[in-house]
Each structure stands twice: as structure tokens, then as C-alpha cells.
Structure 1
Amino acid sequence: MYEETKNHIFALDIGTRSVVGLLVSPAPGGKFTVLGYEREEHEERSMLDGQIHDVVAVADVIIRVKQRLESKLNVTLTDVAVAAAGRSLHTQRTLVTEDISGLGQLTHNHIVALELSAVQQAQRMLAREHKINDFNQYYCVGYSVVNYYLDGEMIGSLMDQRGNEARVEVIATFLPRMVVDSLIAALKRADLNMLALTLEPIAAINVLVPSTMRRLNVALVDIGAGTSDIAITGDGTVIAYGMVPAAGDEITDALSQAYLLDFNIAEEVKRKLSTQEEVTFSDILGMEHTLTQNEVISQIEDAINNLADLISDRILELNSKPPQAVMLIGGGSLTPNLPQKVSERLSLPQARVAVRGVDAIQSFTDKADLSGPEFVTPLGIAVAAKKHPIKYLTVYLNEEPLRIFDLKQMTVGDVLLYAGVDIKRLHGRPGLAMTVHMNGKLKIIPGGHGTAPQILLNGNPVQLDAPIQAEDRLVFTPGQDGTSATAKPIELAEDESVDTLDVMLNDTPLSLSPMVMINGQEAAWDTPLKDRDQIEIRRPSTLREVLTAAQAYTPNMEMQQFQFTVNGRIMRHEYAMYSFFINGRKAQLDDKIQKNDQIVYHMQASASLPSIADVLPVEEQTAVNTIVTFNGKTLQIPTSETEIYLDGERAQLSDPIRANAAITLKVRFKREPVFSDVFRYVSDNLHATEPGKKLVITINGAPASFQDPIKTGDILEFEWK
């Protein structure tokens, strides 16, 4: 047994239904020769829709295929080329917007950064849709720009443009890492090293639709067991990928349901339908059936129609119109009448929808009796491994090694995407702007410009779209944010025109300069401003402002006050030390000043102090009285008296107070009043007017004496009868 030569290519097509392994050798003229192949179906459903669900079971099948091929060809196989299912690809369309007002003229690097930020946003959207926390679980296999926009208008190119807002709309295609990781895990268990990777639609297109034909709008549909993968060419490249979650198994299941067949028996019957006019089979009850091809097809017509509908609808969705032709490959393409039904739904001539098999591949000189459409993809994998291999490459970002899947010509931007660098943060952001209002007008003070990132590739400055190779070393330093905006009133006042204020102050003529108010408070001209400050530049408008501008103002010009206490309660009294006059009229500090006003001020010689009665609160002056009615008149008879003390000494209500004085009021209650007490509060003549009359005294109508007690509400009568 000998080692495989470097030129031999071991290719594996790991499908939902089976694993196909073949060994290919390059031949002269860019051709290839198939040295041998092996095929084995999965015993269990270890693959679902092209994705490995049971790594161990799939690895066991790979091992058996590999061992049989090694034994047949007397080789030792260690390296292998494989393909990721096209159904694993995800396409995302997104639009990003960026404020470019602080960037000046847009450079090539700015535009690439904007495009990559859109790709990264699509990556995040895809992760959210699939509820994956780490958006780096998706490889970007390519993207294309749909449109550029500048300040809301579509534009052909952003290069060297200026504006406030730039937008870019991209379509990006991604491959989940788990697809690649599960492939690597299965190969590792089979002692195989992944030499190269391709995508199944690309592999098939490479052998059926060479680059010279890709200007044609052709749809290639790989109909497998679980899904149908679609790739569409046009304008010289592959313009779209898609997938339909239906394929050959739906037809097999319809047969199984129609005739009560075991799934594997139904699969055999389906395969015979494409080559035999009559088929014989036994159902699960042991009954044997012999039916014509047309009889069987009539029972699965609905399933075939449904598959044709799904494939046609998806092609129209991806291509926006019927393509020029459709190629069907894969085992499911042998479904009876499927090409005709697809052509009808796409309004294409029947000759434009065809099943393509190995015989259509011109790049092989010897195909080792391979035939049929199911072997197109395995052969394409082998060719892609030689002509369009996708490999891992190791690069270093800031001295940290990164192993990147080389899905395309990798660039510096791809490395940053893979490393999870926030592309929107590459360039330093402009510093925060500041808005202020000056005399009612909005002014915007921009922040400082952010700096560009520094990117060195092997020590040399490069752009984001610079290509990278294995073992390259990248040093990346993100741009620094600009400083926040700063400003002072003196810097903003150039556009403001405010006259001086001419007044006469104590017979001295003055011409006063404008003043600065910030948020209603007077401030210095060099005061640092804050965002949303309200600034007013104007002439002094009040007496206080005039005195301040004239440097004549002192704090004791304000109303003065001192405090004192009444029964421990703190009280305050205000008084003025200065007198002010405007044009001969007494004035206050808040009074308005006009141009050419005559202002006079002086300190008062003395300020009279208030009396205790002037400052005593009403509630503290309350006396207790007994209120009665005497001969029809209401009388108040005091039953208490208030004693006043000033700083501990007895005082009168008329005595003046002083600063920090302590006034104490003490209420003393008298004895209970009697009838005779009322005589001190009446002025009527109470003597008998005629001799011989008798004095009658009553309280509330009852006879009483002078010493009887009285209370509030009593009615007292005093008369001579």
C-alpha cells in the first residue's frame, strides 16, 4: 500500500441520504480522471437537511467509504475535500446609516468601513433571528452593494463626496460556523484532514456552468433527499443562493402513504419509476402489487406538483423573473415529470428545463462508469478542491493568532469582522457637539474631529480592503474620538451688536458696556459654557445691574434684615440702609433703567427700629375674654393679661426691638368674673332716676346679686323698678 500522491484528490459528498467518496487525478489539458468511487447510504437519519446531526454515525459511514476506497485503489487517504450544503447559506439584506458631517471628504477607506459595518449589522441580525448570542458564529462568504445614498438621495459613488449622512445597502451571504465545525468533527473521527472546502452549489456550477457561460441567467437546482438547493448565475457570477425545504423524500413519503410501503421500499420504487415501465413491490401487509409507471405516478401527482411549485416559486423570488434556463441535478431530479412541471410554472420551453448528469461534465476524461445527476456534486467538489479551494489560514491580529476560513480572497476588513471588532468604531467619532442659545438664536458648536484608525500589515500602512495571506501580521489601533465642544461667551459674541448704556450716576456721566447673562445669572465673559446654556448679551437693564457695571454696588445696598425671637420662634425684620432715586423718583434695585436716566443713591443717616407691637404676630397677641350681654349691649370682660419681657426685662408693646432680641410673652389668667365686674366697662348712668324705685338684677332672667359669677353667653339685666 502506498501514500496518495499530492496530485490525487479525495473528495467526499456527505449528503442527507448517502456519502459518496471518489478519488480523482488531474489529467493533461486541465482535465481530470476518476480513479474510483464508493457510495453508502446512512443507516439512520443522522443527517437532516444537509446538516450533520449525529457526528459519530456520519463518521462511521465516512470511515467505511474511505476504507473500501483505500482497499480498492491500494492507497492511504489522509486529506479530503468536502462541501458545505448550499442550504446552510443565509442571505441578509440590510441598510446602515452613518453621520459623516465631521469627516470631511469621504475616502476609499471610509466607504469600505461603511460597507463592512453593514455586513456586521447583517451578521448581528442573522444571529438575532436564530437566537444566537455570538454573531461571529457566521462566516461572511461575500457581499455586494445594492445602493449608496448621500443625504437621503441615491448616488452612484460616495468617493470624495461630502455631506451630513451616508447610507449603504448591502446583500451579504453567511455560512454558520457550526456547519463547518460538524464537518471537521466527523472527518477528524475518520482520521481525515480537511484539505479544502467548497459550497455545494458552487461545486456543481463549476463543472456544469463554466465561467464563460455565467453571463447567462441560469438556475441550477440540486434536488437531494431533504432539500433542494438553488444557485443562480448572471452577469458573470453567482448572483443568488436559496433553498426549498422539500425534495426527494417528499415523493418517497407520498409513495409510502399511497401504497402502505416501508420507507426504504418506497425509495426503491421511486428509483425504478425513472427507468421501468412497470414496477413490482410488496406492502407492509405482504401483498404484492404490479403496476404501470403511469398508475403509480397518478398516486403521487400532488406531491410532484407541490415540489415543482416550491422550486419554481423560490427561483422567481431569488431571480425576480424566469431565468433563461434551469438545470436539475441530484437524485431527486429523477422525479417523474418534474422538469415538465417546472417549465410550465416558469413559462419556459420544456427544452430549457433539463436534468443534467455526469455525461454533461466536459472536464473529465474518465468517469469510471459514474452516471446520473446524483454524481454531479461529488465531481464538482473534486474540481473545486483543485481550482477553487477554500482553506484555513492563520493570521495575527495585535499578536493574537486567528484561524480564519478562507472562503474568498480575504482582506484586512474580513479579519477585523472575524475578530468581532466593531466596524462602526474604527474611525474615532466626532466629539460631542454643544448647542446654546444666544439672544434667542440657536448656535451649534461642533466637537473635535475623530482620528482615523491605524492599520499596519507586516509593518506597512494599508486600507481595509487590502488582501491578506497566511501568516500575515496585522496591528490595529482604532481611531480616537474627538474632544467635546468647548466655548466661552467672548468667543461667540462677535456676531452680536449691543450698544452701551449712557446714564448719570450721582452727577457722574457713565457709558456702560454690555453684560453677559448665562441661564439668567450674570457671568464673566470667559466663563466656560455648557450644553443647552441660555446666553444673553445685553445692556444693564436694572438699577442693580447699573450699579454693578459701575462697580458701585455693595451687598449692603440690598434690603437688610435682623432676626429676633418671640417665645423661641425665630422672626426677621427687613430695613434699608440706602435710598435710591431715578429721575427724582424713589426707586428700588429691581427698577428698570433707560438710556440717559439720572440716578442718585446715598446711605441713610439712620434706620428707625420697629416697636414690639409692630413685629408681634397676631396670633401672639390673643387675649382671653368673657363675652356677655348687658342691658342689650355686648361687653368683653378680660379674664387674662399678657406680660411682655425683652431679653428678660419687663417691657411695653411700644418699646423698640433690637437685633437678636428675645421677646417673651406670658399670659396670666385672672379670677372668674362676677356681675359687678361689668360696671368697669359701661358708661351708662346706673343710678336710680326717681326715688322709691327698687333695683332688679337678673342673669339669664333669674334674680342675681353683684357677686354672682358670670360666663360667656350670659344675658345680664340691671334696672330700677
Structure 2
Amino acid sequence: MENENIAVGLDIGTTKIVAMIGRKNEYGKVEILGIGRSKSLGVHRGVVNNITQTIQSIQQAVQDAETSSGMKIDNVMVGIAGQHIRSLQHSDYITRSDSDEVIDEADIERLCNQVHKLVMLPGEEIIHVLPQDFKVDGQAEVKEPIGMYGGRLEANFHVVVGQVSSIRNVGRCIKSAGLNLSAITLEPLASANAVLSREEKEAGVALIDIGGGTTDLAIFKDGIIRHTAVIPFGGGVITEDIKEGCSIIEKQAELLKIKFGSAWPGENKENEIVSIPGLRGREPKEITLKNLSKIIHARTVEIIEQAYLEIKNYGHEEQKKKLIGGIVLTGGGAQLQHLKQLVEYITGMDTRIGYPNEHLAGGSDDETTSPTYATAVGLVLSSLNNQEKEQQKKQEKQVEDTEESDTETIEEPTKAEEEKEQPPKERKRFLDKWAEKFKEFLDNAE
């Protein structure tokens, strides 16, 4: 791609594949330049089960995005989800050889690398190692240890794990579609970037992203990711239930859910009826909206209860871990009528629908700001942020090179500034290394 400041997010979902091209304008907001969408044929519950069909769907989405933007796509940032994803909490520590030196990014990198050596179940691989809080010489709840003195550096980590084969299959599809994989990230983290505010992450919030095949959950507290989970069913099972319960074809069931579906049966009167055309030469079917709502309600309650169980597992009921920001619903399934009210009724937590418009430029169309595209917008945002950090790193290196010949008095403040800038920069560098290792792994797999 000619312009370095342009990023592409590729959301490989169970029902749709979305390619989205975006760039930041002068106000720091994201302008969506092009969007391509295709039906996802080779993915089941977030996992690729037909390589050929997935490649075709990716190529179709990319082609549409290229046509609508007039640009050529080379590098993409991909989101990964699916029922194989699990997360765990882990604590680890390192003993520093020289406690008279301040803690720097190399120490944090050494600690993160140590976590990467954790022994996983056969066929599993670590996707993300996310530090939560640090402990320096027994001093707990240190958010940023860089610049502190200490001999023992300890940290709690949130570790996200996935199946190697599933990750490799995604990588293979990207490569075979003629694209380069610039980075890979967990989809709930991307969605959170798009729809959650900093205040919500500080106060404590649970993001529930209801997709076609999976429901992704991400919990934040004190600005840090605390828990992630992937529930192996989403809007697709609701459509399946309507299809079975009303004896109609899948296409009709999906349309019925979108147009007339409600998660709250009390809203519909007994005499509200919708007529569905019968198959060739057969009589049309009449379905009461009350029955339709009952079918949808039963399955929706199951999905919400499963998500709420994960929220309780995190410890929401403890005073210290209380999620003051409540729940944010996003994804295509979040558009179901009266879902917000049902979630509030079941969980007793404040709930809102999350639209990815906070970071988007003013002129964005309604389609782009729909919850359906939250993950795609989040992937574009993550990719743009990564690019900014890379450019910042290059600029800092240039500044360092030019200042080597200057006096120490001038160097002092720049070092202080560097130390301020280091924490987020380091996290990125570590993920970069992981992405490079993953690319090598794919190349060798050929």
C-alpha cells in the first residue's frame, strides 16, 4: 500500500467476512475509506473448517473494499476468535542481577518471555500475554514499574491461549488470498477498542460481542483487561431455533428474526401474525409474533446467562471487583429488539448498546457505525495505533542518533521523556516480535 498511514482490518466471522480500510484524519478520528463484505462460507463458530471457501470469501470482501476505496490492499490485521480460545491468570517473577539499576523495558520483556515458556496443553499456543499489575520487592499494585528500583519484579498476567491448528489455518487463508498478515489480535480486544471509553474501562465494564457463531466477552477494570472468554454460540443458533420451531428455511428464519424478532415475548399481542411464502406450490405459513418472540427469548436467555456466569467467575459480586460501568452489548446480535431490557432484567446491571462511532470521523455512514462492524473498526484502530507507535519509535531513534554528539545536559530531559513513553511502546514491541515469530512459523509450515 502506497500510503503508510492507511490500515486494513479483516474480521473473519462465522456469518460474514469484512475488510475495512481506514486512516486517521487531522483531528485523530478514523475515516473509513472503503468497506467490503462477503458471506462467510467456510467458518463454523469462529473456526475455519473449509479453507477453499474461506479464501474465496476473503478475496471477495477484499475486492469489494478495494473497489469502493480505489486502493490496493497488501497488509491486513486479523482478528481471531472461536470456541478454541481460552484464557487463564498466571503470576511470575524475575530476580534482577543489579538492584541498583532502575527497572527498564528489557526486564519487562524478560518477564513476558518467561510467561511465553509456560507449558500448554498439546496443540495449544499462547496468543497474548497481557500484564495486569506488577509487584516490586513486595510493593503491590504497581501499574508501571519502569524507572523504579528493585531486585525482584513480579507480575500478574492474563494469558490468552488458542489452538495452533486453528491459528495456522487462518494464517494459511490470508496468505493464499494474496495478503500479508501484519498482526493478529483477539477479537474481543478489538471490539473493546472500538466501543468502550477510557472512563468505562477504569470504572469496570463487561463487553459482550454477540456474533453469528460465537459470543465474545472482555472484562475491564481499572483500565486493565481482567478476563476474556469465547462462548461457542451466538445469533446463528437463534436463527436455527426459528427455522426448526417454525418449519421454514434458514433464509426466511434470518429475515424473520431481523424484521420482527424481539427478545421480550410480552411485547407482542396474540393476534399479531406474519405470513411466510410457502415453498414452490405450497400454501403460505402463518406465524404469530408471540411464538417467534418465545423462541428467540429462550435462546437469548441462555446466551446472556452463559455470559453472566463468566462475569460472576471473574468476581463481579465482590465489592473490589464490581463493574460500575455495567455491560456494553455489541456485534450483529446486539441489534435484536428489547435485548438491552432483557440483559438488565437478568443481570441487574446497567446496559447499553455499543456503537463504534466514538473514534470515527463525523461523516461516517450509518452502516459503518452499526454494532455489526465493531470488530472491523476495532481492528483498523489497533492497526493505526501500531503504525503510530512504529513511527514514534523511528523518530525517537533519529533523535537519539542526532543527540549523541550533544552535551549531557541536553540528554537528561530526553531520557526522562523516553522513560515516560516506554511502557506502551514496550508492550507493542513484544507483540511485534510474536507476530514475526508467527509469520516465520507460517512460512516454515509451507
Question: Under a length normalisation based on structure 1, what TM-score does the superposition of the two structures give?
Answer: 0.46
CA shift for structure 1 position 111: 8.8
Query: What secondary structure, in the 3-state scheme, does the structure 2 residue paired with 1:195 have?
Result: strand
Mark the runs of 5 or more structure 1 residues left unpaired by the alignment: 393-405, 420-721
Residue type of the partner of 1:256? K
**Do structure 1's residue 81 and structure 2's residue 92 form an aligned pair?**
no
CA shift for structure 1 position 289: 2.6
2:47 alignment partner in structure 1: 51
**Do structure 1's residue 328 and structure 2's residue 329 form an aligned pair?**
yes
Residue type of the partner of 1:346? T
CA shift for structure 1 position 211: 3.1
Query: What secondary structure, in the 3-state scheme, does the structure 2 residue paired with 1:187 have?
Result: helix
Alignment of 1:256-295 (within 5 A): 256-274=243-261, 279-282=274-277, 286-295=282-291
**Do structure 1's residue 303 and structure 2's residue 304 form an aligned pair?**
no
Contact 2:188 2:218 in 1 (8 A): yes
Query: What count of residue pairs does the alignment treat as equivalent?
Result: 378
CA shift for structure 1 position 229: 0.5
Task: Name the CA distance, whole Å, in 1 between partners of 2:8 and 2:380.
Answer: 7
Indicate which of 137, 150, 159 corresponds to 1:173.
159
Structure with greater strand share of residues:
1
Task: Name the CA distance, whole Å, in 1 between partners of 2:323 and 2:276.
Answer: 40
Task: Name the CA distance, whole Å, in 1 between partners of 2:61 and 2:93.
Answer: 52
1:143 alignment partner in structure 2: 131
1:62 alignment partner in structure 2: 58
Task: Name the CA distance, whole Å, in 2 between partners of 1:186 and 1:334.
Answer: 30
Compared CA separation, residues 232 and 39, structure 1 to 2 (3 A): same
Compared CA separation, residues 6 and 146, structure 1 to 2 (3 A): closer
Compared CA separation, residues 190 and 347, structure 1 to 2 (3 A): same
Compared CA separation, residues 234 and 169, structure 1 to 2 (3 A): closer
- Displacement over 6 Å in runs of 4+: 103-114, 146-150, 154-157, 166-169
C-alpha offsets along residues 276-332 of structure 1, whole Å, 9 cap, x if unaligned?
A: 986432467944234453331023332222122112212222243362221111111
Compared CA separation, residues 81 and 258, structure 1 to 2 (3 A): same
Residue type of the partner of 1:174? V
Question: Under a length normalisation based on structure 2, what TM-score does the superposition of the two structures give?
Answer: 0.71
C-alpha offsets along residues 178-210 of structure 1, whole Å, 9 cap, x if unaligned?
A: 454333321222211223443322222222223
Contact 1:248 1:332 in 2 (8 A): yes
Compared CA separation, residues 93 and 82, structure 1 to 2 (3 A): closer
Task: Name the CA distance, whole Å, in 2 between partners of 1:284 and 1:319.
Answer: 51
Contact 1:240 1:319 in 2 (8 A): no
2:394 alignment partner in structure 1: none
**Do structure 1's residue 363 and structure 2's residue 365 form an aligned pair?**
no
Mark the runs of 5 or more structure 2 residues left unpaired by the alignment: 143-148, 263-267, 391-424, 438-446
1:692 alignment partner in structure 2: none
1:451 alignment partner in structure 2: none
Bigger mean CA offset, 301-310 vs 112-121:
112-121
Contact 2:77 2:181 in 1 (8 A): yes
CA RMSD of aligned residues (A): 4.1
Contact 2:23 2:384 in 1 (8 A): no
Task: Name the CA distance, whole Å, in 2 between partners of 1:27 and 1:180.
Answer: 33
CA shift for structure 1 position 73: 3.7
1:340 alignment partner in structure 2: 341
2:145 alignment partner in structure 1: none
Task: Name the CA distance, whole Å, in 2 between partners of 1:183 and 1:385.
Answer: 18
CA shift for structure 1 position 382: 1.4
Query: What secondary structure, in the 3-state scheme, does the structure 2 residue paired with 1:366 have?
Result: coil
Compared CA separation, residues 260 and 378, structure 1 to 2 (3 A): same
Contact 1:198 1:389 in 2 (8 A): no
1:381 alignment partner in structure 2: 379
Query: What secondary structure, in the 3-state scheme, does the structure 2 residue paired with 1:364 have?
Result: coil
2:179 alignment partner in structure 1: 192
Contact 1:280 1:291 in 2 (8 A): yes
1:463 alignment partner in structure 2: none
1:234 alignment partner in structure 2: 221
Compared CA separation, residues 193 and 294, structure 1 to 2 (3 A): same
Compared CA separation, residues 261 and 213, structure 1 to 2 (3 A): same
Task: Name the CA distance, whole Å, in 2 between partners of 1:346 and 1:175.
Answer: 28
**Do structure 1's residue 17 and structure 2's residue 29 form an aligned pair?**
no
Compared CA separation, residues 299 and 5, structure 1 to 2 (3 A): same
Contact 2:207 2:219 in 1 (8 A): yes
Task: Name the CA distance, whole Å, in 2 between partners of 1:211 and 1:262.
Answer: 44
Task: Name the CA distance, whole Å, in 2 between partners of 1:205 and 1:62.
Answer: 23
Compared CA separation, residues 244 and 146, structure 1 to 2 (3 A): farther
Task: Name the CA distance, whole Å, in 2 between partners of 1:390 and 1:105.
Answer: 33
Contact 1:13 1:83 in 2 (8 A): yes
Residue type of the partner of 1:372? S
Contact 1:119 1:172 in 2 (8 A): no
C-alpha offsets along residues 359-414 of structure 1, whole Å, 9 cap, x if unaligned?
A: x434322323415310122122112211146999xxxxxxxxxxxxx9933459x9
CA shift for structure 1 position 354: 2.0
Bigger radius of gyration among the two: 1
Counting aligned pairs with the same residue, the percent is 19
Residue type of the partner of 1:257? E
Residue type of the partner of 1:192? L
